[in-house]
Structure 1
């Protein structure tokens, strides 16, 4: 009969206990009570990094004119962007499409509604601005099928948009979102003859929960996407194109570095990708005005065995293995990087580093003003043209 498992924490009789006690002892000896406060703060930051979070309201609805079909939002660096976007709302509508900016001042922007909103609509004031645009596959008016892809954590839902040919594009969404984030790329890929598979992975809103329920920042999630590649191959795919958005980029890069299907991968497209998490987390900590020593302690916590136990993570975050620029020599296939130099969430430094490390494989297209994962929305024509030309140059599609 197996002995009962002990609860995780300081009472656990494992090597991690020694690491925790050692860390606490060092902090107390060096800084006393203040050190403990810092340690608690670092632990909280570390937990935030790996814990899936609900969508956060980032703008306010200031006015709704259903006669003119316009909406006024509080002005932010995102809501003032030109192009087409979406807005997550609460009330009689849960998601509406937004068109161009019609009027703006220092405090507000008024945009055209591209989703008809009834005069009787009641919307909560708080809302979340989005680059998704499409939020359901039916809106694309393309044939698709729904599937469940078996993975180590359970069945992960996926959509497949079939096209002629034996090249499939596997699309991977970012942190804290769902596969609907990827839908805006499907029409272009379909027009180029690519079957597109839009996948989910552990701990997102669509897929099963892992044992820990936390993100591995790409170190674990790539295995679920690898299962989707296996599904595609069994369904007739002979060549695989990967496409990742934000953290989905980190997942695609890990797939390219680790997958048993690497010989079938012919290229990678990355939109606003995470290439090195230390750059991203350092930048976000600066935006939060966190002291640099606190950020360093949070990163050390995430990377350690004892930290994984205290944060509830399934395993330490292997930041070195997740640094694709440092591992650039291991990459084998051409990569197209699309990144805004004023991304505002995932700085483009990692993308530039990867492009500099492998100029033979990597082509980088920089945008200005497009913000994070909103390049398609900001300049759809350029986004489409760049991808189309690159796919033709790599003989992945015939233009």
Structure 2
């Protein structure tokens, strides 16, 4: 009787431990691996309460985080009826914030709901910066993938890779700094992007497979006369760049990397997210195993820390110390391990891929110095 009771207790304890693990593995798949989640519309987080010449007053939208209107830095204010360039906070009492403002498109009115778009610029290279560009097709094993091609005079090309759930507009903040000094540039797409071929399994693989589209983009550039390649990667785009450095025969063509909040290790990123949501990290030991078995992947395929440490080309690394998505500690470790090749710009108060937004002048200065040395 005692043995049966003990067995029953152990079974019940196992079920209690397994239950959160199963739930977390499903949450992980939905938030981390399912592209459909990233295609849901971004919610409106702020409400416009007043508009004056050069000044716009915001407060949080109903149900939004209470500090949504206090995000530091520069953004694109995106509303249903219009868009504006939104600058730093000029005044705030916490309840409302008055920010620098420049009208761009449509009409904005007091009462409108809007969102702060960190990509900062609307449209495409021409609309954002007046840059001539072509929409080209990159032919990869899975099919054709659109890319923006901005011509330049140099034989080193910049190939720019956006992050998970983002799009090519993510590159618009950096793009004019590259073209100003003559770098031709490609802002590419990859599998599971909206309008692009899906992955065979329909899931993100954090660079393990997406690097094939980047490899095809390098081949495209080489076919048009490129001699060297500068890789630019944001968040998961950084993982894709490092996956190429690990897996591709074209890696020797890469002359340098600019990485912005790169996802260097998915396990660390998942643990960081759990801590942000106050989920006990001990549950991850179970949920990670369940997820790997259910969705048929190996966590080691998404760990690029050793690849990054073993790089032999110069790296410009940006990361905000308030990043809620990718732990800044992973970039700290890379910078500490390779001070000989890594120039590290750790930006106070910057969230995920927000280093430019918080300090655009400092960001530009770091990029310009890096590009001068790369040339």
TM-score (norm 1): 0.82
Indicate if the aligned counterparts of 1:80 and 1:101 stay in contact, CA closer than 8 A.
yes
- The correspondence for 2:70, drawn from 80, 89, 97, is 80
Match of 2:42 in 1: 56
Q: Distance in 1 between matches of 2:121 and 2:309?
A: 37
CA drift at 1:266:
0.3
Work out which of the residue numbers 85, 100, 124 in structure 2 matches 1:112. Answer: 100
* Worse overlay, 46-55 or 142-151: 46-55
1:122 positional shift? 8.8
Aligned-pair CA distance for 1:383: 0.8
Which residue of structure 1 aligns with residue 252 of structure 2? Answer: 263
Q: Does the CA contact (< 8 Å) of 2:152 and 2:179 recur in 1?
A: yes
Number of the residue aligned with 1:70: 56
Superposition deviation, residue 116 in structure 1: 4.1
Whether 1:347 and 2:354 are equivalent positions in the alignment is: no
Contact 2:47 2:58 (C-alpha < 8 Å) held by counterparts: yes
Output aligned runs, 1:245-394, within 5 Å: 245-302=234-291, 304=292, 306-308=293-295, 315-316=296-297, 318-328=298-308, 330-393=310-373
Query: 1:129-165 CA distances to partner (integer Å, 9 max, x unpaired)?
Result: 2220113222210111111111232211100111111
Report the equivalent of 2:7: none
The alpha carbon displacement at 1:71 in A equals 4.1
CA distances 1:277-316 after superposition (whole Å, capped 9, x unpaired):
22211111111111223222232233x3x321xxxxxx41
Asked if the contact 1:257/1:330 (under 8 Å) is kept, the reply is: no
Q: Quick check: 1:227 aligned with 2:213?
A: no
The 5 Å alignment of 1:190-209 reads 190-209=179-198
- After superposing the two structures, state which structure 1 stretch, 63-72 or 130-139, moved more: 63-72
Structure 1 counterpart of 2:119 = 132
Unaligned runs of 5+ in 1: 1-27, 309-314
1:81 CA drift (Å): 4.0
Separation in 2, partners of 1:222, 1:55: 27
Pair 1:328–1:60, CA change in 2 (3 A): closer
Question: Residues 307 and 88 from structure 1, CA distance in 2 versus in 1: closer, same or farther, beyond 3 angstroms?
Answer: farther
Q: Distance in 2 between matches of 1:112 and 1:376?
A: 17
CA 115–159 in structure 1, closer or farther in 2 if over 3 Å, else same: same
Partner of 1:45: 27
Name the CA distance, whole Å, in 2 between partners of 1:155 and 1:327. Answer: 28
TM-score if structure 2 supplies the norm length? 0.87
SS in structure 2 at match of 1:114: strand
CA distance in 1, matches of 2:112, 2:201: 34
In the alignment, what sits opposite 2:131?
142
**Whole-Å separation in 1 of the counterparts to 2:155 and 2:368:** 18
Structure 1: how far apart are the matches of 2:78 and 2:205?
27
Shift of 1:30: 6.1
SS at match of 1:326: helix
**Alpha carbon RMSD of aligned pairs, Å?**
2.5
Q: How many residues are paired up?
A: 357
Whether contact under 8 Å (1:177, 1:205) holds in the other structure is no
Gaps of 5+ in 2: 1-9
Residue 372 of structure 2 aligns to a residue in which SS? Answer: helix
Cα drift, residue 32 of structure 1: 5.3
Rate the CA distance shift 1:112–1:392 in 2: closer, same or farther, 3 A.
closer
Change in CA separation of 1:119 and 1:42 when aligned onto 2, cut-off 3 Å: closer
Q: What per-residue deviation string (whole Å, max 9, x for no partner) do you get for residues 235-294 of structure 1?
A: 111100001111111111111121221111000011111112222111111111112232
Cα separation, 2, equivalents of 1:255 and 1:123: 47
Supply the distance in 1 between the matched residues of 2:181 and 2:187 (Cα, whole angstroms): 16
TM-superposed deviation, 1:228: 0.9
Note closer, same or farther for the CA distance 1:377–1:257 as it changes in structure 2 (3 Å cut): same
Shift of 1:72: 1.1
| Pair 1:122–1:152, CA change in 2 (3 A) | farther
1:174-193 equivalences in 2 (<5 Å):
174-193=163-182
Q: Give the match's secondary structure for 2:339.
A: coil
CA contact (8 A) 2:58 2:96 kept: yes
Structure 1 residues 72, 331: CA separation in 2 closer, same or farther (over 3 Å shift)? same
Compute the displacement of 1:224 (Å).
Answer: 1.2
